[in-house]
Structure 1
Amino acid sequence: MTRQPETDLWWKKTTVYQIYPRSFMDSSGNGIGDLEGIISKLDYVKDLGVETIWFSPFYTSPQEDFGYDIANYKDIAPEYGTMANCDKLIQEIHDRGMKIIMDLVLNHTSDKHPWFLESKSSRDNPKRDWYVWQDGKKPKGKAPPNNWQARITGSGWYYDENTDQWYWAQFLPFQPDLNYRNPEVKAKMFGTVRFWLEKGADGFRLDIIDSLYEDAAFRNNPLSRHLLPSEDGVLFKSTKMTMHHPDTMIFVQELRKLIDEYSNPSRFLVGEVEGPMPTIKKYCGEVNNPGLNSIFLFETLGVKLQPKTIRKLLNKFNQYYPDPFIPTWVSSNHDIMRRISRFNNDLEIAKLNAALQLTARAVPYIYYGEEIGLQQNSIPLSDSLDAVVSRFRKLPKVIQKLLQKITSEAIHRDNCRTPMQWTPSQNAGFCSPSIKPWLPVSSGYQDRNVETMYNNPDSILHCYKRFLQIRKQYSVLNSGRMTLIASELLPKQVLGFSRWIKTSDVKEEVNIFLNFEDTLVEFSNPTASKNIIASTTIVKAENNEQKIILRPYEAIIME
């Protein structure tokens, strides 16, 4: 596959659109999204204005965790299509001048993977040491080797009667962790990365990459102050021995060297990493010894839309990710409550959130459906297909309700993975009205769908398109620096910042103003900008170069 060389770091300027393949478009008539369905909608994605698509996994899998439990890294799950379909998808994306990011789960495999089936067959199997096995404690080894907790609570150790040992699984029981202290495993997975780079992948999103290595001595995790998952641990135990191991930092630097061999075009890595900012920044390495190109900064997922809060977060990102590093801005994803549902499904607030995401200094990640206001579903726990829910079904109902209220996105992920809404017809155009989709379509699809919103120039869909187009047209918005406008120059409900680039004696600059309240606000223009080049609404107030008027929840870009 011949590609044109590139001289700039495209990934720092791009906007990424995440597609959950199972829920995007069904072309085969089984109620499950597939690769041909995605191909049929690539023109829509291109027209939206994004440049890069990130796909959740569509590799061969028993689908117990809907693709994040991989049974073959080099083949395609039959419900999604074939490798020929995948090759076509990659080519069609590149033909449109777009990039493709593959989701890669390096931490674990499915327990149905041939490697694990061999590993658990006997203690002396050649692949035994491909996974993390340990003897148990107490008489006859019937207790776990130590106190390590899985990321979703409960012990992460699982007993195998056949070989009388325990295997370690950082996430779910059917996702045993690979043992990267075995050089054969490391070589095999690096080979997998090369396989997809040769296929044309432009980069990888790395699932729970912060858990790759564990303490080699299998020491207990110390106590923590926290019951619920936090930066410090879960269920009163820290994650010191099971996350952010120094050997993981070394691994990502080696992986970066591997992908940097493929420079025509350049490739990139974005990691799913959780923890305090000083810790997760280490995954990026240093300028002369780089690691991941970027990391998901999950503070944006639940941040309150308040000027003081956003100002503080933007300053924090600038502090930790100055050039040549760059932060990310994520509002939703396949594991987390849809952002609009944190705003009581208010479309105007969602437009404001989009404007912030697409103008701040960061790489924006848009989760499919955000551009039409697709809202969180409310599927009962009893009907959930999500394997995470099974971990909580045995708990008392009172505890279940408390956990769901506090961390609903963490224990019932079906609700943010429902089918994309294309039309106002039954099943929202995702699949035939006569077919039952794999998950029920969210409520409100009759109004919140692509077809309806295309016909409304003031819709959230057109708001996304306006801001994405301006982001492409003005290099200051995709690669410029950012300076916050002093808060004393603005009303308390308004946040303002500049995006700028200075070359020689020429300075290009645009200014962004966001009104975070449901009231019209008027104030003196603190900048030299005169013209509004984009707004979240097409019903603009009467602004001039001395005065700025913002309608409720309006955001504008001025030059």
Structure 2
Amino acid sequence: MSDLWWEKTVIYQIYPRSFMDTTGSGTGDIAGIISKLDYLKELGIETIWLSPMYPSPTDKPYHLHDCGYDISNYRDINTEYGDLEQFDQLVAEIHQRGLRIVMDLVLNHTSAEHPWFVESRSSRDNPKRDWYIWKDGRGKNGKKPPNNWTAMITGDAWKYDEHTQQFFYHEFLDFQPDLNYRNPEVQEEMLNTIRFWLNRGVDGFRLDIIHALFEDEQCRDEPFAIPLPFTSKYGLIKKTERQLHLPETIDFCKRIRETVDEFGGKFLVGEVHGPAEDQRKYFGDVANGKSDGLNLVFYFNSLNTLLNVKKVKSLIKTAESSFADPLLPTWVFSNHDFPRRIFRLKNDIKKAKLNAALQLSLRGVPCIYYGEEIGMSNPTLDPKTSKDALSHHLRLLPAVSRNLIRHFGLLLNRDEARTPMQWSSTENAGFSPPEGLPWLPVNDNFKRCNVEQQEKNPGSLLHCYKRFLKLRNNSPVLQSGALKIIEHPNFPSSVLAYERYLVDAPAKCLVLLNLSNRAEHFSVPYQNGEILASTLSQSKVMVANKIALEAWEAVIIEVEGIAS
């Protein structure tokens, strides 16, 4: 059994702008996070991941900045949240409660307002010119992009700069120029930035879109593929041969790992999109039970997975084969870029409870998005008034393109997944003081969906999360055990069953999930069985190893022996 804390942790993502506003500015702040640390401790999570809080041009119109994911200074705190002194206090308060803190680090690109880029675009011979990716255009006047590369969803990946008459590369929005990681100075600067925050006591980093760091050195065209209208004028779905998952990116991830390991007891979790086999590469090479790349990688296959036996079983089997021991999958069902999980579950609280039990009983590291524990949902917000720069690009696309984006499980307006945390039924849902105006509208359902009300209701989703988190935190089997899917004739076809177990330990946990609208009655084929937790009851018992599962109920049972 591992003694590495991050292998047994539970991560909770906070989007700072939307968590807790103590000043009435309408924007969440560091003091607000500190004020809710006891809530998080009682909830049962251990590691807090903070979306970016660095300086960013958030004073500009919303369609010209990315709410912190376009950084203009990597070694400071945006004044809308506080300052470095308050951040240091936050780190101390987190550690005082036995919790951990992970910062969001955007290594791939900066803001166009970053002093490095301001220098870089000032002239072709500026010392910072090679810190970014500049290329001559094509065509007789050089006004055509250097190649056919597309940005993620939003069209061409090149923007022409009139002043220096070259194009710069941006994998994302055109005010987020990509850094040039083929420049050793850039690599050292970013590794030293990691050291800067580790010296301030942070426990690790979530690495934003880490698979996009390097691009083809020769800037060759991507191969053409299936034409779709939301990609670019070249009409192609970008393949990853030239822009994503390059071997040099994997090598640099190993350098990041070496840097983090200088400090001991820290960890890295990467945002890597693509098939599980591509995600697996970012763990690096495995030898003597250890890997030399990223410690963890988000397993995004779960985001769109429907709750039926076939789909969930396939999800688990892929994770178990792709991230076999000593690797671990990181289970994420919602985040700041995707629809909230309960939206996919059609606002069904029973299904949300079952989903929580699934996430907290699988082998690997669970990552919970703020508000998920109370079932916060996506409101419908007008894209014309969106605070999300990406949505302003997407709403100009033709209807067929927008429908395709929805089909792939993406949000046309990410504001809908970022609304203020719903703490109470008071004005502004308790997020801002009554006189404040939250930066995004509070969801209309806040009076019936909030922490205060669910705290009072033992049958709430919040208490279900607490129940399963407490069990997981006190169970070495659930924290570190292996997983085996159980096929047995006693189990109905609508029930998914898997064991969590430690080698050479007699007791194991049997997880049963009834993924259907009907109740199921059957016997559990083990020597002994005691129900440790249920999604729908706090006092469920078994009689002679017989169990009755309600529709969409999940249970964890302590059993002994082998299924007979």
TM-score bucket of the superposed structures, by smaller chain: over 0.9
Q: Once the 2 structures are TM-superposed, how far is the Cα of residue 526 of structure 1 from its aligned partner?
A: 2.3
Partner-residue secondary structure (3-state), 2:75: strand
Q: Match for 2:453: what amino acid? A: T
- In the alignment of these two chains, the number of paired residues is 546
After TM superposition, the structure 1 = structure 2 runs for residues 271-286 of structure 1, keeping only pairs within 5 Å, are 271-286=270-285
Structure-2 change in CA distance of 1:86 and 1:28 (3 Å) = same
- Distance in 2 (CA, whole Å) between partners of 1:203 and 1:478 is 20
Partner-residue secondary structure (3-state), 1:444: helix
Aligned mate of 2:55, from 57, 60, 68: 60
The answer to whether the 8 A contact 2:534-2:540 is kept is no
Q: Once the 2 structures are TM-superposed, how far is the Cα of residue 427 of structure 1 from its aligned partner?
A: 1.1
After TM superposition, the structure 1 = structure 2 runs for residues 226-245 of structure 1, keeping only pairs within 5 Å, are 227=228, 235-245=236-246
Match of 1:130 in 2: 131
- Distance in 1 (CA, whole Å) between partners of 2:230 and 2:503 is 43
Partner-residue secondary structure (3-state), 2:194: helix
The answer to whether the 8 A contact 2:529-2:557 is kept is yes
The answer to whether the 8 A contact 2:22-2:432 is kept is yes
Match of 2:490 in 1: 489
- Distance in 2 (CA, whole Å) between partners of 1:399 and 1:546 is 54
The answer to whether the 8 A contact 1:480-1:500 is kept is yes
Partner-residue secondary structure (3-state), 2:307: coil
Please, which moves more after superposition, 400-409 or 127-136?
Answer: 400-409
Aligned mate of 2:39, from 16, 36, 44: 44
The answer to whether the 8 A contact 1:530-1:544 is kept is no
Match of 2:562 in 1: none
1:390-442 deviation line (CA, Å, top 9, x unaligned): 2123333x336524642563431000000000001121000122321100111
- Distance in 2 (CA, whole Å) between partners of 1:110 and 1:239 is 24
Partner-residue secondary structure (3-state), 1:531: strand
- Distance in 1 (CA, whole Å) between partners of 2:266 and 2:205 is 8
Q: Once the 2 structures are TM-superposed, how far is the Cα of residue 254 of structure 1 from its aligned partner?
A: 1.2
Match of 1:543 in 2: 542
TM-score (norm 1): 0.95
Match of 1:118 in 2: 119
- Distance in 1 (CA, whole Å) between partners of 2:391 and 2:546 is 53
Question: 1:349 aligned to 2:355?
Answer: no
The answer to whether the 8 A contact 2:513-2:552 is kept is yes
Q: Which consecutive segments of 4 or more residues in structure 1 shift more than 4 A?
A: 539-542
Partner-residue secondary structure (3-state), 1:59: coil
Q: C-alpha root-mean-square deviation of aligned residues, in Å?
A: 1.7
1:369-393 deviation line (CA, Å, top 9, x unaligned): 0000101111011121111012123
Question: 1:361 aligned to 2:363?
Answer: yes
TM-score (norm 2): 0.94
The answer to whether the 8 A contact 1:510-1:529 is kept is no
Match of 1:4 in 2: none
After TM superposition, the structure 1 = structure 2 runs for residues 61-210 of structure 1, keeping only pairs within 5 Å, are 61-63=56-58, 64-210=65-211
- Distance in 2 (CA, whole Å) between partners of 1:475 and 1:113 is 46
Q: Match for 1:318: what amino acid? A: E
Question: 1:213 aligned to 2:208?
Answer: no
After TM superposition, the structure 1 = structure 2 runs for residues 392-407 of structure 1, keeping only pairs within 5 Å, are 392-396=394-398, 398-399=399-400, 401-403=402-404, 405-407=406-408
Structure-2 change in CA distance of 1:327 and 1:423 (3 Å) = same
The answer to whether the 8 A contact 1:31-1:437 is kept is yes
The answer to whether the 8 A contact 2:154-2:394 is kept is no
What 5-or-longer segments of structure 2 have no aligned partner? 59-64, 559-564
Structure-2 change in CA distance of 1:98 and 1:228 (3 Å) = farther
Partner-residue secondary structure (3-state), 1:191: helix
Q: Match for 1:389: what amino acid? A: S
The answer to whether the 8 A contact 2:394-2:402 is kept is no
The answer to whether the 8 A contact 1:541-1:551 is kept is no
Q: Once the 2 structures are TM-superposed, how far is the Cα of residue 11 of structure 1 from its aligned partner?
A: 0.7
Match of 1:287 in 2: 286
The answer to whether the 8 A contact 2:30-2:82 is kept is yes
Match of 1:517 in 2: 516
The answer to whether the 8 A contact 1:57-1:104 is kept is yes
The answer to whether the 8 A contact 1:418-1:439 is kept is yes
After TM superposition, the structure 1 = structure 2 runs for residues 363-382 of structure 1, keeping only pairs within 5 Å, are 363-382=365-384
- Distance in 2 (CA, whole Å) between partners of 1:249 and 1:407 is 27
- Distance in 1 (CA, whole Å) between partners of 2:132 and 2:46 is 38
Structure-2 change in CA distance of 1:427 and 1:280 (3 Å) = same
Question: 1:507 aligned to 2:506?
Answer: yes
- Distance in 1 (CA, whole Å) between partners of 2:526 and 2:383 is 52
Percent sequence identity is 50
- Distance in 2 (CA, whole Å) between partners of 1:408 and 1:293 is 27
- Distance in 2 (CA, whole Å) between partners of 1:469 and 1:368 is 18
Structure-2 change in CA distance of 1:234 and 1:276 (3 Å) = farther
Q: Match for 2:14: what amino acid? A: I
Q: Match for 1:518: what amino acid? A: N
Q: Match for 1:101: what amino acid? A: V
- Distance in 2 (CA, whole Å) between partners of 1:436 and 1:389 is 22
- Distance in 2 (CA, whole Å) between partners of 1:541 and 1:83 is 49
Please, which moves more after superposition, 70-79 or 406-415?
Answer: 406-415
Match of 2:553 in 1: 554
Match of 1:463 in 2: 464
Partner-residue secondary structure (3-state), 1:53: strand
Match of 1:443 in 2: 444
Question: 1:330 aligned to 2:332?
Answer: yes
1:118-141 deviation line (CA, Å, top 9, x unaligned): 000000000000000000000121
Match of 2:424 in 1: 423
Q: Once the 2 structures are TM-superposed, how far is the Cα of residue 539 of structure 1 from its aligned partner?
A: 6.2
- Distance in 1 (CA, whole Å) between partners of 2:227 and 2:308 is 27
Match of 2:9 in 1: 14
What 5-or-longer segments of structure 1 have no aligned partner? 1-6
- Distance in 1 (CA, whole Å) between partners of 2:252 and 2:538 is 52
Match of 2:62 in 1: none
Q: Once the 2 structures are TM-superposed, how far is the Cα of residue 103 of structure 1 from its aligned partner?
A: 0.3
The answer to whether the 8 A contact 1:338-1:376 is kept is yes
Q: Once the 2 structures are TM-superposed, how far is the Cα of residue 536 of structure 1 from its aligned partner?
A: 0.6
1:129-161 deviation line (CA, Å, top 9, x unaligned): 000000000012100000000012300100000
The answer to whether the 8 A contact 1:361-1:479 is kept is yes
Q: Once the 2 structures are TM-superposed, how far is the Cα of residue 446 of structure 1 from its aligned partner?
A: 0.7
Q: Once the 2 structures are TM-superposed, how far is the Cα of residue 540 of structure 1 from its aligned partner?
A: 5.6
Structure-2 change in CA distance of 1:393 and 1:551 (3 Å) = closer
1:182-239 deviation line (CA, Å, top 9, x unaligned): 1111110000000011111111100010000000000000012363899xx9833323
Partner-residue secondary structure (3-state), 2:74: strand
Structure-2 change in CA distance of 1:487 and 1:161 (3 Å) = farther
